[in-house]
């Protein structure tokens, strides 16, 4: 048995030093390492993006065999498929810590390594960023290569085509690798996915350039060059799919087998010599080399710890907020034929698979195209439908202009459903939904809310379904909630009316804590700690971020010594700011203590660890409240 190769790979130079025959063995060892580190063979594993990385092992080996990072730039779109790149660039010793607090990030991170030239966690960014790097190289007069690796799902993003539209005009040396595996998180949809499939399955496309050129030369000779080029394009269109990339100024190559390392190396070496932007189309298999990932590509796109032999994971009997959303909306749509559901390539992540199964004619997956999704929803709303637009909070940021210009300005009843509102844990700063209150609460006409538990969540969705007088938004957390069973019949909530959960044990009540959404539980725990110290404390479930229940806020602010707000959101421009602003406008001087996330991009890690580290615990709230309480209570009794 030959000696293992991977333990000796500490830099890309070590890959270049290998014999060609050793490369397939290295690929095999990398597969085993990925499965081991992300599964429960690693006691500290929190899982990760296994399927995408299994599919790019051979490509990553070839890239580091041919190019020289950090001089040459490798830009990965989304970059969740960069685990293998991390293994090869001096981080193998820490690879067992990936996605753990204090460990390697699950995405490319410029601060983590000089080999990570561009950080990302959202799709569609790589082509524009890589083009900027190529133009910077040209302006500087240096000679490095810039390689963009983008999955086929990235080409459902409009911004990718904005980059393609400009590339040929702005540089002559630019390599784009289209990694075509027919999946983003779920299976890709739309005309672009069909286009790539058409290219890949066309037996006539291989060698099309040579055959078309020879035919043109035979018919016209070599002299009529300009006309010949037009005829060449026409000839190609007769015997092959439409040559989209060539029309945009790229030379297209492929499709080729993305798991044939030697073929990839030879092709990349050739592409290095080209003085025109090129697209290399490779076909790969998501989850290659691991049977459970091949059988369940959706599950193994990104998952927690799993049993390596079978791929089995632990499941909870309590439905997640996402699952509850999809099931509930499907139920509502049984009696309301105006309800339609829209998502951007996230039918499973948002729970809309349930809606799609029950109402396929009213379900729309538009691909990774959040801007289009918001505009599409606007059009549906204009015509009397009730669109529910389900997009993660962090991805809804991409549709911000449409929310203002197209939805709110026209006062259209689009329902914005923002999954992952709050901390997203192990995925880190690109995925935390910590900014949506800040980017929505100042938008005119828009209503925004957050439920404390599953029962209230269903009531809010019911209220949204019946709200037809303007835009309305809801934010809700990742994962499971408190386990509260929703009522058989949901109720309409009074918009802008908070819920007083606890008035305080005795008079006078000295503290009022407003715990937004799931932070109500923390507010209750903090109140219990204060009550143990003899400080009577009220607990309020705000429900409504906008409109704020000003009556409740003013009532308690005029009655207690300290108001405390707790939110799973950054403090700047958050819910607590809304309370402070209103009290300032009313010239009410009661101190407001705010508990929330700091003015920084929060790192990755488990929710519990990050809350403790950044001061979002009941104990932290109590410390802030005690520091703000006056020595002598001036609080009045609450009638």
Residues labelled as active-site residues: 286, 370, 398
- 549, 482 Cβ separation under 8 angstroms: no
- 174, 146 Cβ separation under 8 angstroms: yes
Backbone angles phi, psi at 539, to 5 degrees: -125, 130
- Around Cβ 35, how many Cβ atoms within 10 Å? 21
**Pairing verdict, β 447-449 and 472-475:** parallel
| CA dist., res. 378 & res. 367, Å (int) | 17
Burial (0-12, 13-18, 19+ Cβ within 10 Å), 9: buried
Cα 334 to chain center, whole Å?
A: 30
SS (H, E, C) 454-512: HHHHHHHHHHHHCCCCCCEEEECCCCECCCCCCCCCCCCCCCCCCEEEECCCCCCCCEE
SS (H, E, C) 291-348: HHHHHCCCHHHCECCCCCCCCCCCCCCCCEHHHHHHHHHHHHHCCCCCEEEEECCCCC
| CA dist., res. 460 & res. 421, Å (int) | 15
Please identify which residue in the block is written with the tokens 């957050």. 450
Backbone angles phi, psi at 175, to 5 degrees: -115, 120
Give the three-state DSSP class for 388: strand
| CA dist., res. 340 & res. 325, Å (int) | 13
Structural tokens at position 146: 């810039």
Structural tokens at position 530: 């204060």
Please identify which residue in the block is written with the tokens 């449409």. 402
Backbone angles phi, psi at 360, to 5 degrees: -60, -30
| CA dist., res. 591 & res. 588, Å (int) | 9
**Pairing verdict, β 544-546 and 447-449:** antiparallel
Using CA of residue 69, residue 74, residue 79, residue 81, what is the dihedral sign? Answer: negative
- 338, 385 Cβ separation under 8 angstroms: yes
- 62, 74 Cβ separation under 8 angstroms: no
| CA dist., res. 561 & res. 576, Å (int) | 16
| CA dist., res. 255 & res. 266, Å (int) | 14
DSSP code of residue 152: G
Cα→Cα distances 581→287, 512, 558, Å: 51, 17, 15
């Amino acid at each position: 048995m030959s000696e293992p190769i991977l333990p000796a790979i500490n830099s890309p130079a070590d890959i270049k030093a290998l014999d060609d025959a050793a490369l397939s063995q290295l690929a095999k060892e990398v597969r085993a390492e990925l499965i081991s580190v992300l599964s429960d063979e690693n006691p500290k594993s929190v899982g990760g993006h296994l399927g995408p990385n299994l599919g790019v092992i051979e490509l990553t080996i070839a890239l580091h065999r041919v190019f020289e990072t950090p001089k040459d730039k490798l830009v990965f779109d989304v970059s969740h498929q960069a685990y293998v790149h991390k293994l090869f660039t001096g981080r193998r010793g820490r690879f067992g810590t990936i996605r753990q607090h204090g460990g390697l990030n699950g995405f490319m991170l410029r601060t983590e390594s000089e080999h990570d030239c561009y950080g990302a966690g959202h799709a569609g960014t790589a082509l524009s960023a890589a083009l900027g790097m190529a133009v910077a190289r040209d302006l500087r007069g240096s000679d490095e290569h810039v390689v963009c690796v983008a999955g086929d799902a990235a080409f459902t993003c409009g911004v990718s085509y904005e980059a393609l539209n400009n590339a040929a005009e702005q540089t002559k040396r630019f390599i784009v690798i289209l990694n075509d595996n027919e999946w983003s998180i779920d299976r890709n949809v739309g005309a672009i996915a069909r286009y790539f499939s058409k290219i890949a399955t066309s037996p006539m496309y291989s060698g099309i350039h040579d055959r078309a050129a020879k035919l043109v030369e035979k018919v016209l000779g070599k002299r009529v060059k300009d006309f010949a080029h037009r005829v060449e394009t026409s000839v190609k269109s007769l015997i092959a799919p439409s040559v989209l990339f060539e029309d945009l100024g790229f030379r297209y190559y492929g499709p080729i087998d993305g798991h044939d390392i030697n073929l990839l190396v030879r092709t990349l070496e050739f592409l290095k010599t080209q003085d025109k932007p090129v697209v290399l189309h490779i076909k790969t298999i998501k989850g290659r080399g691991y049977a459970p990932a091949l059988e369940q590509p959706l599950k193994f796109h990104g998952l927690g710890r799993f049993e390596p032999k079978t791929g089995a994971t632990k499941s909870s009997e309590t439905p997640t907020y996402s699952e509850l959303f999809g099931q509930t909306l499907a139920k509502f749509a049984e009696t309301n034929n105006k309800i339609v559901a829209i998502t951007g390539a996230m039918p499973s992540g948002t729970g809309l698979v349930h809606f799609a199964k029950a109402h396929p004619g009213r379900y729309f997956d538009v691909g990774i195209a959040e801007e289009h999704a918001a505009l599409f929803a606007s059009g549906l709303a204009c015509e009397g439908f009730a669109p529910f637009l389900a997009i993660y909070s962090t991805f809804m940021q991409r549709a911000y202009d449409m929310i203002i210009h197209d939805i709110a300005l026209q006062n259209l009843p689009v329902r914005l459903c923002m999954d992952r509102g709050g901390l997203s844990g192990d995925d880190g700063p690109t995925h935390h939904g910590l900014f949506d209150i800040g980017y929505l609460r100042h938008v005119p006409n828009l209503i925004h809310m957050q439920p404390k538990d599953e029962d209230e969540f269903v009531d809010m969705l019911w209220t949204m379904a019946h709200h037809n007088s303007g835009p309305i938004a809801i934010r809700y957390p990742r994962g499971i909630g408190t386990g509260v069973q929703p009522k058989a019949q949901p109720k309409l909530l009074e918009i802008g009316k908070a819920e007083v959960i606890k008035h305080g044990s005795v008079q006078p009540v000295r503290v009022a804590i407003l715990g937004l959404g799931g932070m109500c539980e923390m507010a209750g725990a903090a109140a219990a700690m204060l009550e143990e110290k003899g400080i009577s404390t009220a607990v309020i479930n705000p429900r409504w971020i906008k409109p704020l229940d000003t009556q409740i806020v003013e009532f308690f602010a005029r009655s207690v010594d300290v108001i405390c707000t707790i939110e799973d959101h950054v403090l700047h421009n958050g819910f607590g700011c809304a309370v402070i602003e209103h009290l300032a406008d009313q010239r009410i001087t009661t101190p407001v203590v705010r508990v929330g996330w700091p003015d920084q991009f929060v790192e990755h890690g488990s929710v519990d660890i990050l809350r403790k580290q950044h001061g979002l615990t009941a104990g932290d709230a109590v410390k802030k409240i005690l520091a703000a309480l006056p020595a002598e209570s001036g609080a009045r009794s609450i009638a």
